Structure 1
Amino acid sequence: MSKSIASIGLIIFITLYQIFSANCSEYSYGVVESCSGCSLNRLPDVKKFIFSDVPNYERVQFKHIQGAVPELVLYNNNEEEVERLQLSRLTRDECNELLQQKGFKKITIKDEI
């Protein structure tokens, strides 16, 4: 009887692990694409988000593209683009909330040590 309980426990564990893994790793990494000036100068909240907040997130980087409007591009584990979201109408707080909703975490000092 204890073998069957252990088997059921293992099945439940594997199932929960798969559900948790699927929800947490939908996106492998994100790239914020934008020009570094031009139209970004008219979007002070987004500019602050890109240069002050993006460097503090795990698996998120900034990519300068001349003349590009600010967008968050999300990739899967196969390095395929999964989703592209415009940031130009969002506030700095909304941009941060978006990254966190997509599963990205801020790096803490504790994580760096």
Structure 2
Amino acid sequence: MEMRTTALIFLAFVAYAQSADNQIVRARLESCPGCSLNRLPEVRAFVYEDIPKYENVEWKKISGAPPELIFLNDADEEMERYFLDRLNRDECNKLLQSKGFKHKEDTKEL
């Protein structure tokens, strides 16, 4: 009986550790800063105006790359990837928010 309890505790610990590795903690938008974004005005507005407002989201500028949003775990491993070329600005924001991303807090002092 004691061996079974120890085994169950060990399995629970392993499952918990693995689930922490699979949790999305940051996002990276990869896109060309010009060409493909110029043809997608809604996505361009999302990239230039909305992305900087989010915590743990960065923009990696890659010449010629179509806009993609990549969700990463704590080990910087890719968990999910979404092409943004068929989304509008609101859908792009909802995608980030659906994964738990929030706007940065206003740091201006009154």
Scaled by the length of structure 2, the TM-score of the pair is 0.76
- Kindly state the Cα deviation for residue 35 of structure 1 after the two structures are TM-superposed: 0.1
C-alpha distance in 2 between matches for 1:71 and 1:79: 16
From 54, 79, 87, the counterpart of 1:82: 79
Compute the displacement of 1:83 (Å). Answer: 0.8
In structure 2, the residue corresponding to 1:109 is in which secondary structure? coil
Given candidates 56, 60, 63, the residue that maps to 1:59 is: 56
Offset from partner CA, 1:51-97 (integer Å, 9 cap, x none): 00000000001110000000001110111111110111000000000
User: Which residue of structure 1 lines up, in the alignment, with residue 13 of structure 2?
Assistant: none
Report the CA distance between 1:30 and its aligned residue: 0.2
1:50 and 2:50 matched: no
SS of structure 2 residue aligned to 1:104: coil
> Which consecutive unaligned segments of at least 5 residues does structure 2 have?
1-15
Partner Cα separation in structure 1 for residue 82 and residue 46 of structure 2 = 15
Q: Are 1:39 and 2:39 counterparts?
A: no
Question: What amino acid is aligned across from residue 37 of structure 1 in structure 2?
Answer: G
Deviation at 1:41, TM superposition (A): 0.3
1:13-57 CA-partner distances (Å, limit 9, x unpaired): xxxxx8xxx69x821110010000011100000000000000000
**TM-score normalized by structure 1?**
0.74
For residues 43 and 108 of structure 1, what CA distance do their matches in structure 2 show? 28
Return the match for 2:67 from 65, 70, 73: 70
Runs ≥4 residues deviating over 3 A: none
